[in-house]
Each structure stands twice: as C-alpha cells, then as structure tokens.
A and B are shown apart, each in its own frame.
Chain A
C-alpha cells in the first residue's frame, strides 16, 4: 500500500467547544493510482489532505505514506518529507506574483535533489511559450497549469490537489484534469485530489466519500474514464 491510513482522528478546540473534524478515518491508495475525495463543505477533506501532506498533524491514528509514518515525524523530518516527496496544487494557484512563470517553478526546483527540467515540465503543461510572463498576465487556467508544473518539477511521489478545478470553468477544468492524468501516466505519480464535483470521480481509481469526518463510502473503479470524456 502506498497510502495507508487507519483510525485517524483530529479535533480542534475553540474555547470549551471541541470540534471533532476527523473521527477515525481509514483509507488506502496504491502506488500510481489516482484517488478522489468527495464530500460536502466542512466535512474534513482539506484537514485530511493537510495531514497527509505533512502540513498538519493528526491527534491519533496511523498515517503511512510510502512506508513513512507521517504522524510520528518531528518538525524537521516533516519538512524533509514535504520537501522530498509531496507536491501541492491549490484551488487558488498560489503563484508568487513578482516572479515569472519560470521562476515560480524554480522556487521548488531550487530545493529539490533531482528536479526535472523547468522547460520540460512547462512543455508538459503546454506553457513553454509563457516562461517569462508574470502570473497576473495569465488566465486562471494558465495559472493552474503553472501551479501544476511547479508541483511536479520535483517529481514527487504523491501529488496532493485541493480542488484544483474549483475556480475554473468547464473546459479549462477538463484540460487541467487531463494534464493530471497525463502526469500520472508519464511519471507514475500517485495523485490524491479533493473535489466537489462527483463527475470527476469517474477518472479516479478510488473514490472516498467523506461526511462529518467519516468515510461513508470507499469505492474502487475498475475502469477509469479518460478526462477528456468526463462531462458535467
């Protein structure tokens, strides 16, 4: 198992009120698979993903990613874990506005041991001709492509995408999903993606439905649909 989560719990305390966000999550994903997490707002999707990505910590339970017990790592080890193994794609792209497209990608390759070539990843997301543009001169979809290029330049083991198409229109969303699928094929990257859009689940190997901090359904798709054929 590449990802193996069992009985993961997480709660937030605000004053006297304790808010149990994750109530004993269990979840598995094989290497090279695409997983999709579905669920209503506030159900704990991002919290779960942040713990997986080493940004946050669970209170109890086991989180194993490629043999590493993420929940037991100290701060420095967590930093190394994020640095080496994890790629992030955010809903709002989070590009650095005063760096060019190429430089935004270098932010990550700068600290990677064996990064891919910047031009190669830009070509992979079809953005090679915009290398010297600044983010504000790009459309949302283009910015998300850059964000994707930035995530894969370090050739991560696990690519975490929190609503990568949340801010994009239908066609742009589809092109991003297509790219994700291509990355998955080309580099064998395991991808876990959060979405509100149930239709997207069709392209995943596994689908997890989350409600109020519990996995209410975990389905395995024997046949995955290519992104360009997904419609909603």
Chain B
C-alpha cells in the first residue's frame, strides 16, 4: 500500500518519541527475560541439586548413639545417615567445618575436580577455596595430617554457608570440607549428627518429622537438637531468593511496559489527530476503514516487535553470568543454563499484545468520526478538557497560569510524566534503601557489647572469667504461628553484654522478661501480655509473661534471666550452653565448642555490600535512563504541541530565556510531585519484598528507612535528568521559526 511508504518518514520525523518508546520496550523485555530466565535457572538448579544429591528432610542430634540404624530406618520408612563434623581453624579468621563423606543423604556434588578416591583426599567448598586461594592439587594440613585438595564440592545442606544459624550472612573465612569416613575416624574427635530423608514422598515432610520424633521418643532416644529443612536457614533462603527474583522479574518489567503503553498511546493519538484531515481525505477517496486501521496499527506493532526482539535477545546474554555470580553466594553445581521457551515467547509477545490492544482502542476511538468531521480536522487540538474549564486561576500570575494550563492540557501526557518519574524514583530509591539498610546494619551494633560468642556442645557449669557472661538459648514457636521461630535466651540479670532500651531510649533492666520489637510485632504482644510458646525441640508448651518490649531489630528474641530460664525450661541449675565474651576464652581440650566473633559478622556484612553497591549503581543507571527518556519525550511533546505558541511568542518579542522558562519549565512541578509520589510507592514495593522475606525465611528487617541524604541525592539525580532533557529540547525551541505562526491559523 502506498500509505506504508510514509511509515519510515513519520518515524523519522518524531525520532525522539519512537526511539524513546522502543528503548522502554527494550528495557522492559530485557529485565523480564534476564530476571525470569535467571530466576527459572536458579530455581531449577536448586531443585536438581536438592533432589539429585538427596537433601535431608531434617537433621538432629541425640543424647546417645542409635543402636540399630537399619532397623530404625525401616520402622520410620526413611533413610538415615550418621555424619561427623568438627570445626578446624586453619589460621586466624579461616575456619573449615570438616564433614565425613556421606553416602546416602546430603551427598557432596563435585563442582570441579574429582571425587574423593582414597585417604588423604579432601574436597573444599569452591567459595572458601576462592576466598582463601586454594587450588586443586594444593596441600592442606589438618591436625598434623596432610590432605590434598582433589576437588571442589557443594553440600545440599550448606547451600548458603552460614557458620551458625543465627547469622544472616556467610563469613568469607568460613567454609566446608569433606573427607573420607576413614580419615575422619582417624582424628578421633568431632560430633555426630544424623541426617534423615523420608521415603514417603506423598506425605508432608513436617508431619513425617513429627511422627519420626515420636518414634525416637518411644524408643527412649532423647533429641537434643532438631532442624527441619524448612527451618534451615542455610537452605530456605534459596526459596526466599527465588520468591524475590520472581517478584522483581514481574514487577519491574510490567511497570516499564505500562510506561511504554501510555507513551505509545499518546504518540499514536497525536499522530492521528495531526493527520485527521488526510485521513478524512483518504476515506473520501474510497480507502476502507480496515486499511487505515492497519496503517496506524503498524506503528505500535513495529515498536513492539523491534523492542521485543532486541530486548529479549539482549536479556538472554547476561543470564549465565548472573547465575554464576549468584552461585558465588549460594553454593550449588552449575550443570547448565536452560532457556525457558515459554518465558521467551511471553517476553516477545507481551509488548505486542499490550501495544497492539492499546493502539487498536486509541485508533478506533479517534477514527470513529465521520470523514467530514475528520476532514474538518484539528478539533482535538483546541478542545478544552473538564479540568481546564473548571480551574479558576485568575488570582495567579501569568507564568504560573500558563504552566498549569500547559500541564493540564493533555491529561495522558501528565499521567505519563507522573508515572514515569515515579517509576524512575522507585528504582533509584529502592537501590538507596538497600544501601541505607546495610549502612544501618553496619552501625547498629549498640545492642551487643561483646566481641565473641561461644557455643558449647554440652551443657557447661564452670564459672567464666571477668569479661565473659554465660547464657542459654533455645528455639521456640508461638502457638498461633508455627512457621516463624524465635529464640528464648537466658542471660545474666543486669547484663553488661546485652544492652536493651525501650521506645524512649531509656535502658531496660535485663532482670525481667524482655522481648524484641520484631517478635512483639509478629505475635502482636503488649507489655504485660502472657503468651504460650512451643519449644521446637520437643513441642512442650510454656507460658511467658512479657514485662517489657525492647526497641531493637537485631533479631527475634525473648530475653529472661538465666536462672529463670533454667527453672522454667527444666534445665539443670547453674548450667549454660553459650557465652558472650570480650576476650578469647581458655576452654579445656575435651570440650567442643564453636566461636564467632562480632567483627567477623561485620566483615561479612561489608563483604555482602560490594555486589549490592554495583547493583545499586545498575539500578541508578536504569532509573536515570528511564527518567531521561520519559522527561525528554514529554518535553519534546510539549515543544511539538506548542510550536505555534512558541512561534507567536517569538513574534511578540519574547526572549529565548522567557520562552524556555514558560514552555520547558512547565513540567517542574509535575516532576517534583512524581518524585514525591515515588517515595511512598518505593516503601510499598519494599514492604511487599520484606513481607515475602518474612514469610519464607522468617527474617525480620528493621523498619526500612531511607536516610535523608539519599532522598536528596535521588532528588538531585531526577532533577539532573530533567535538566538534561530540557537542555536537549532547548535546541528544538530555538529552531521554531516565526513564520510558522504567520502561515497557519490556530483556530
């Protein structure tokens, strides 16, 4: 059709708008493809690993060894394997948790190198090896025995290699290692634990876990520690990560796509309006409605197809790099990348569907007029909408009036600008909130004033030297919420190691029952309430009266004096399980323990900050680009629509500066409002994320706040994009000639 020869010309005439639209579609498809393929691969790798290498359903420790494992297995319809472990300090700040190799549950997956083939071989976690510079073939001495690193491995129960479950972040100096059972036995030390995998795949593992514990009890075996895999923070954070990725992979691209839809609808409406006279003439010449529809639909479809193809293809490339990067935090074998064809097709088709539909409706609405009406043309241009009509602006100064009218003139343009700035703001502030959160984590250590945290394998009674305090802790659940667990911790009354404050900042005595804010929020508890809690280990129910609530977000804790703790929970008098200390303690050889230093925890947070920093940089860049596209497109639309007024103003003797101020600065208020709207939207978006974190890992974050400097920086960034767009459009304003108004009549 002859008409189609115009397409290229029309596209070139309004380059900015069409390129902006295509870029938005590319962004949308890029983020969708990248995030969804990434999330899909991550989830698939996790599932393959957990199934293929027989991840445990639970792990436990008992007070005595289990006599006949085989008989117990068949009675419980489960696979049970006893493993051995101890922590070995290779050097200062470098700790290996050494396991004996399992054959039936929690099998190590070889990531690089070979399997263990005999004595003297050792497998290391690849992340530990990389952080501490071990290569395959290196020698390693453990308790005077020499080992050769034959390969790197991943353990299904140590995907997220936390040193202790109370920690939020893995330590760079902590890793796992696997040696043969024979080598381990030769050390003649370590603790034993059991990993159990239930055979009945149809029944809920938690229910089987409860039955299994009953079974053990009935045989007189006492469980001293029990962790269901769903509660295992070294594993369940994977599910949380997948949830977050899925959420982001839907939310961000949808927002950008909607932005593109609004933009294209605007552009098409303007195009048709501008050409209504031609369209009317074409009708009069005998063109069919269908042919005209098809012609105008070409524009949105072309944009959708170009943007969709480029964005989807670009999105595929970084998937492998992203997965590899992810696997430096989550230790799993990378067996390969699979692209989900359905998600590829969705990524490609979604913009076509969105733009096609919105384009069709716009075209139908605009072309419903009769040929005569169309030929009369330009009606839309001088139409005055409801808002413009009712607004009483008389009292205002002319420039203010003019700017307000300019913005209200096209409500869809206004919506696009507001929405676009809000989306850019959200991306920007989202990054900043993460950074703020980490900053606060780094500085918010006021609660704990000790340096080391010791955990003993067996109950201890010995008194501790000055500068150290004993404590005990066990995991509990509330009766109402069986998913999110918390610690009840017995500490010294008037503890010098744990300082708690109330809402007003006044110090709280630890000679009472104090609960931290996250758990008070979760269980909706007030001061003076009594709550029933369930000990996870054995399901016993206790009731506790809350004396005070502490304003701290370091974790979910109920603190009480150690003496009361022992009494209430039927622990031997004077016993304790853990200790806070400012100095390294002198512990007799025969007592096994693990120790974590607070500095290590901070180091871990700092370590974790590095990739976040680059992610924030990325988000800020995307936000900047989207902001510039949106503001530039709107500004150029404004210039385009105001050519006549600009020309008139030039005739009337307006100076360049005055025209720029009236026309280009008219969006300032809207950009500022868009930014302000973006702030609560950011919090709402983060709220959804935080909620999903809570639901899947039970991790409570402090109420997220963005520090004021970041809000200002964000504002400056958004205003910079605004200034940049204005600068780009200034030239457009300058090129409008005075003869334009002379040649045309506006009404």
Contact = CB atoms under 8 A, between A and B. Distances in A.
Interface of A: 46, 50, 53, 55-56, 76, 79-84, 86, 88, 90-99, 102-103, 106-111, 134-136, 143, 162, 167
B409 to A, nearest CB: 5
A96 B648 contact: yes
Contacts of A102: 394
B112 to A, nearest CB: 68
A115 B28 CA distance: 53
Given A96-B648, A98-B384, A136-B384, A103 B402 contact: yes
Interface stretch (B127-135, B480-488, B623-631, B651-659): B651-659
From B383, B652, B655, B738, name the one whose CB has the most chain A CB atoms within 10 angstroms: B652
B320 interface: no
Nearest to B406: A98
B644 interface: yes
Interface string B731-745: 000000011011011
Given A80-B653, A98-B384, 7 more contacts: A55-B651, A90-B742, A94-B746, A96-B645, A106-B401, A107-B402, A134-B388
Nearest to A46: B742
Contact of A136 (B382, B394, B398, B648): B382
Interface residues of B, number: 34
A184 B484 CA distance: 88
Interface in B371-422: 381-384, 388-389, 393-394, 398-399, 401-402, 405-406, 409
Contact of A82 (B401, B402, B645, B651): B651
Given A97-B382, A107-B649, A136-B384, A79 B655 contact: yes
A142 to B, nearest CB: 11
12 contacts: A55-B738, A55-B742, A79-B650, A88-B651, A88-B652, A90-B745, A92-B745, A98-B384, A107-B652, A134-B389, A135-B747, A167-B745
A55 to B, nearest CB: 5
A165 to B, nearest CB: 14
A103 B747 contact: no
A122 to B, nearest CB: 14
Contact of B401 (A55, A84, A90, A103): A103
Contacts of B382: 97-98, 134-136
Contacts of A167: 745
Contacts of B653: 79-84, 86, 111
A151 B388 CA distance: 25
Contacts of B744: 92
Contacts of A109: 398
A136 B745 CA distance: 12
B371 to A, nearest CB: 21
Nearest to B401: A103
A93 B652 contact: no
Given A84-B653, A97-B381, A92 B405 contact: no
A174 B648 CA distance: 26
Given A55-B738, A136-B382, A93 B654 contact: no
B276 to A, nearest CB: 15
A95 B747 contact: yes
Contacts of B738: 55
A144 B384 CA distance: 20
Given A82-B651, A103-B401, A135-B382, A92 B658 contact: no
Contacts of A80: 653
Nearest to A53: B651
Nearest to B647: A94
A142 B357 CA distance: 43
B398 A110 contact: yes
Contacts of A134: 382, 384, 388-389
Contacts of A93: 745-747
A149 to B, nearest CB: 14
Contact of B745 (A76, A91, A98, A111): A91
Contacts of B650: 79
Given A82-B652, A135-B382, A136-B382, A98 B747 contact: no
A108 B747 contact: no
A11 to B, nearest CB: 16
Interface in B701-747: 738-739, 741-742, 744-747
Interface string B339-382: 00000000000000000000000000000000000000000011
A110 B399 contact: yes
Interface in B620-671: 644-645, 648-655, 658
A94 B648 contact: yes
Contacts of B649: 107
Contacts of B394: 102
Contacts of A106: 398, 401
A102 B398 CA distance: 10
A135 B644 CA distance: 15
A111 B409 CA distance: 23
A108 B652 contact: yes
Contacts of A94: 644, 648, 741, 745-746
A79 B741 CA distance: 16
Given A79-B653, A98-B405, A111-B658, A92 B398 contact: no
A66 B741 CA distance: 26
B654 A83 contact: yes
Contacts of A99: 402, 405
A144 to B, nearest CB: 11
B652 A143 contact: no
A93 B405 CA distance: 20
Interface string B220-262: 0000000000000000000000000000000000000000000
A167 B745 CA distance: 10
